[in-house]
Structure formats: C-alpha cells, structure tokens
C-alpha cells in the first residue's frame, strides 16, 4: 500500500497559472498577508498531511469511530493527537478573518491546502471542513455578539462546527423538516427533534461542538419559507466564554457506512436544547446557503483529493507489480505492468482528470475571492456570477470524476484491488459518498440548468464560453456544442430540460476541464524553455494536457443527444 506525497509542484502550478494567484496578490485585500510565501505554506501543510494524517487513513478505516454506553463518540487511535497538531499549526484559520483570529489568506489558498489534508485522510478532513462552513455562515450572517462569542474558538479549532439539516423524512426536500424551535421570552429558543446523517456531530477531539441547526418556529408556514437558523452548542457557554453544563443535544446512534468509517455519522436528538436565532425567523434557508455553497466547493474538493491519492497508489503499484511480457522483456522475466499500454492509458486518464479537477476547483475558489474582495464592483459582480455558475459543476463533476478515478485505481491493481489489504478499495469506498451529500449531484444539475444558466439572461455562461474559445480545436468544438445544448435547454423548460440536466452538467464539466488542460499545455510549453532543468515535469504536463484534449474531451460533444432527448426518452 503506497504512502501519500503532497503534489506540491502540481498545486503551485494550478494556483499560479490557472487560478491567477499572482493577480490576487495585487488586490488590496491581500497585499499584506504574505502570498509570496504560499509555496512555503503548502510545503508545511504537505508535511503534516503526509507524516501525520496519511498513516491514520487505513487504521482509522479499520477501527472506525464508536459510540460508547454514555453517548460519547470515541475516535480512532491517533486522531485526537493529529487534530491537536492540526489546530496548533493554525490550519483552521488560513482564510478566516484576522479580527476573529484568522490569517486572512484568500479562499483559493485554503482550498489548495485542504486538498492535501483530504487526500491524506478524507474522514479526518471532514471535521475541520464542517467547521469552515460554520465559520462562513456566522461570519456573514451572525450578529456582532454572535461573531465575538462563537468565531474565535471555531477559528482556533478548540471548538468545531456542524450542520444539522437532514431528518428521516426530510433529505433533499429540506422544507419537509419538522424539528421545532420555541421562543422562551428571553431571546433564547428551545429545540426538539431528530437529525440524521450528521457528520462529526459528536466526537472527542474538541472542547465544544457548535451545531448550526435548521428548525421551524411556532406558526411558521410549511416549506422552506418557514425554516429558521439556530446556533445550538454541545455545551452551553457563559458570558465570559467558559463552558457551562451540557446542552440537551446528544448522539443516539452512529451509521454503519460503506466508507469514511473514521468519520462519525451521527443521529442527533434535540430534547429541549437551548439555541439562539441567527438572523430573523424564516430566513434559515437563505442563510444556510452561505454555509452550503462553501461546503459544496469543499465536497467537490473531496473528489479531487481521493483521485490524487488513488492515482499515487495505482502508479506506485504499477511500477512494482510484474505480470506478462513485452517484446523487449528478458527471457524468464516479467514486465512491470506500467510498461503495458493499457495500464499506461489508465494511469494517464487518472492523472489528466485529476489535473483538470484541481484547476476547476481552484478557478472556482479564486472567482469567489474576487467576488468578495475585488475593489471594482463590476468585477465583483462578474466574479460572483462565475463562482455561482461553477459551484454546482465543481461539486458534481469533480465528485463523479473522483469515483471514476478511484474505480480505475482498483482496475490498475487487478484482482489485488478488490482485496481490502491493498487499500485501493478504501479510496473508492470513501469517494462514493461525495456525489450524494451536500445536495446530490442530480440536484446540482437541476440547480445549474434551472437557476444558473438563466442567471443574468445567460451572460455568465456566454462569458465563460467566450473565454474558453480559441485555444484548441477539440475545445472549440466542445464549446460550440455546449452553447447549442444550453440554447435547447432554454427553449424546452420543465421536464424536458430537467431530463437533460445531468448530461449537460457532465458536458460542461468536461469542457471546462478541457479549457484548463489547454491552458496547462500552453503554459508548460513556455515554462519548459524557461526552466529546462524541470523539463521532465513540464513534458509530463504536456502529455496529460494532450491526452485530455484528444481522448477525454471528445466525449463532451457526444452527450448532446442525451441532453436534448427530452423527458419522452425516460418512458
């Protein structure tokens, strides 16, 4: 079973040449945060990921988190110590606001760092990922008092955060939730209900857990308009910030899952738990989307991260495993399977898709950074629209690709990939949840077609397609077909458009991936002449670029019939 090595050169390349980190460094918001030291920051995060978190990936999968008789969740051996190293190094605070203890780096740098931690140990990474989402929601929508009380310990990592949305009868249909919140007359609320599928809802790694909970107040209308957002801590907090008694929220069960065994997926019961309202009553879904949109980007990152880990393991196995012969194999010997063309094809397919995912996610994060902090309001608006357009693609396409790459990793291992001891199967098992949670990929496709394509009369998509034109003939063909497909969807609203939403999202994801890989090829050719001592690295980039453009991208135009077949094709 291979170890994990942080792909520092690949990440640095994507940050600079795809996401435009150097341009971000010129903006006033980040003039003084030290973006010129980003590569040093990446190297230090990569060391912690490889040396501390990666060795716990397999042992955590085997042991899992367990619920004891007193309702406490015990994490696998080594996890608590790893988490302490994680927070002591400040990794929870990379992109948080300095006024709450954060380092103030742009989101794109944080995403690049989180890739390595997620590759090293996806189950572990979900805990700080949920905290980041809670920090984002409270930073944007919390009152000044709430920010002062909750954000410093969340940013510092001594407390962690969760999202409590799903209920047994209310999964994707969040408006069907029944958890109730009753005002107490002193500004507080008491909450009753049950939530399921709560990632890291209970654990032993932090002093407190801040649950962000959706619930319905008395006389609230049915559906999403009647939902409000609440802060419900595991332990109540005194005015001076010290912890008081345990709140009436507890874990009553852990799910037995296909993968991410070390990540406790909890059934949470609220039995009169004390909570405080965020914003106004009835605003819960609008406020929660701040948290969910960042979480969706970070879930898309899980697809990339597991793909990178699966690729590294498959490449190492293929270099070592000997089976069969080639014409130039010495008599009586077998060839390493990496010499067989079909194995090389699978590995190159894995690598090319992984590079395309990395570029897309960092491009999306950089657009969110510009939307938040560019001094020009017109630029902020355009960046916001691009970030909104790319978010469902980042979440859905990258997680689907992650599953595909992890599956290919098993295939490279052959029969050994189907044996748990090699560890190849764990990558597939861990990856399989990502297309499901934080809004299923079908819902992401509906969001893309129903909300994002019509946004601003289609201007964001038109701008994206224009930017992608003129780099490569196969890319130009794919761009033209995306434009045709988008026009068809606009002319066939309702079930016909919804029937083609998922293949359209795949088509757009493949095409944006082609744009990223065309840029990768162009930049690496220029850099090869400027840095001949790194010629092998730049030539490998050119190879993966050409493979994607010639062998992966042509599947995008082939999806046009699936997009435009309409609801009648579904029977």
Active-site residue set: 438
Q: Please check whether residue 130 is in contact with residue 160, taking contact to mean a CB–CB distance below 8 angstroms.
A: yes
Strand partners, 275: 189
For 159, the token pair is 């407390």
Q: Please check whether residue 79 is in contact with residue 56, taking contact to mean a CB–CB distance below 8 angstroms.
A: yes
Helices 535-547, 501-530: crossing angle, 10 deg rounding:
150
The SS3 of residue 158 is coil
How many other β-carbons are positioned within 10 Å of the β-carbon of residue 169?
10
For 377, the token pair is 């309001």
What DSSP string runs through 326-361? -TTSPTT---BGGGSHHHHHHHHHHHHHHHHHHHHH
Dihedral of the CA atoms 478, 479, 484, 487 (nearest 10)?
140
Helices 341-373, 535-547: crossing angle, 10 deg rounding:
90
Cα–Cα distance between 12 and 523 in angstroms, integer? 13
Q: Please check whether residue 276 is in contact with residue 147, taking contact to mean a CB–CB distance below 8 angstroms.
A: no
Cα–Cα distance between 263 and 257 in angstroms, integer? 10
- Choose among 19, 30, 49, 20: nearest CA to 114: 49
């Amino acid at each position: 079973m291979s170890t994990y090595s942080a792909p520092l050169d690949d990440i640095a390349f994507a940050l600079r040449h795809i996401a435009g980190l150097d341009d971000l460094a010129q903006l006033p918001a980040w003039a003084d945060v030290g973006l010129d030291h980003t590569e040093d920051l990446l190297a230090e995060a990569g060391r912690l990921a490889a040396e501390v978190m990666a060795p716990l990936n397999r042992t955590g999968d085997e042991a899992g988190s367990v619920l004891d008789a007193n309702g406490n969740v015990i994490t696998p051996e080594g996890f608590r110590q790893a988490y302490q190293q994680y927070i002591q190094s400040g990794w929870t605070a990379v992109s948080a606001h300095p006024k709450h203890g954060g380092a103030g780096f742009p989101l794109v740098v944080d995403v690049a760092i989180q890739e390595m931690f997620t590759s090293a140990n996806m189950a572990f990474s979900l805990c700080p990922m949920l905290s980041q989402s809670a920090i984002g929601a409270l930073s944007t929508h919390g009152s000044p008092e709430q920010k002062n009380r909750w954000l410093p310990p969340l940013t510092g990592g001594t407390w962690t955060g969760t999202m409590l949305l799903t209920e047994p009868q209310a999964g994707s249909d969040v408006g069907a939730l029944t958890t109730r919140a009753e005002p107490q007359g002193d500004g507080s609320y008491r909450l009753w209900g049950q939530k399921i599928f709560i990632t890291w809802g209970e654990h032993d790694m932090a002093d407190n857990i801040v649950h962000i909970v959706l619930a319905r107040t008395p006389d609230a209308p049915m559906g999403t308009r009647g939902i409000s957002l609440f802060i419900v801590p595991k332990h109540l907090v005194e005015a001076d910030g010290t912890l008081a008694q345990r709140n009436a929220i507890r874990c009553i069960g852990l799910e037995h899952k296909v993968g991410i065994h070390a990540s406790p997926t909890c059934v949470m019961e609220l039995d009169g738990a004390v909570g405080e309202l965020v914003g106004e009553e009835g605003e819960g879904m609008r406020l929660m989307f701040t948290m969910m949109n960042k979480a969706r980007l970070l879930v898309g990152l899980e697809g990339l991260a597991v793909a990178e880990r699966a690729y590294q393991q498959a490449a190492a196995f293929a270099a070592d495993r000997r089976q069969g012969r080639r014409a130039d194999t010495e008599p009586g010997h077998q060839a390493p399977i990496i010499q067989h063309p079909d194995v090389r094809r699978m590995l190159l397919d894995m690598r090319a898709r992984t590079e395309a995912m990395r570029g897309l996610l960092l491009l999306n994060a950089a657009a969110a950074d510009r939307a938040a902090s560019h001094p020009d309001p017109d630029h902020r608006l355009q960046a916001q629209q691009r970030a909104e357009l790319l978010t469902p693609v980042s979440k859905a396409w990258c997680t689907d690709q992650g599953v595909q790459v992890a599956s290919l990793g098993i295939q490279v291992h052959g029969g050994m990939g189907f044996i748990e001891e090699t560890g190849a199967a764990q990558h597939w098992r861990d990856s399989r949840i990502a297309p499901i949670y934080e809004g299923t990929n079908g819902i992401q496709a509906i969001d893309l077609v129903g909300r994002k394509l019509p946004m601003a009369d289609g201007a964001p998509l038109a701008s994206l397609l224009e930017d992608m034109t003129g780099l490569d003939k196969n890319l130009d063909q794919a761009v033209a077909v995306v434009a045709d497909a988008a026009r068809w969807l606009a002319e066939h609203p309702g079930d016909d458009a919804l029937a083609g939403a998922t293949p359209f999202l795949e088509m757009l994801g493949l095409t944006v991936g082609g744009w990223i890989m065309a840029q990768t090829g162009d930049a690496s050719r220029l850099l090869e002449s400027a840095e001949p001592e790194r010629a092998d690295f730049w030539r490998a980039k050119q190879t993966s670029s050409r493979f994607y453009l010639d062998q992966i991208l042509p599947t995008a135009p082939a999806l046009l019939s699936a997009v435009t077949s309409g609801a009648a094709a579904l029977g």
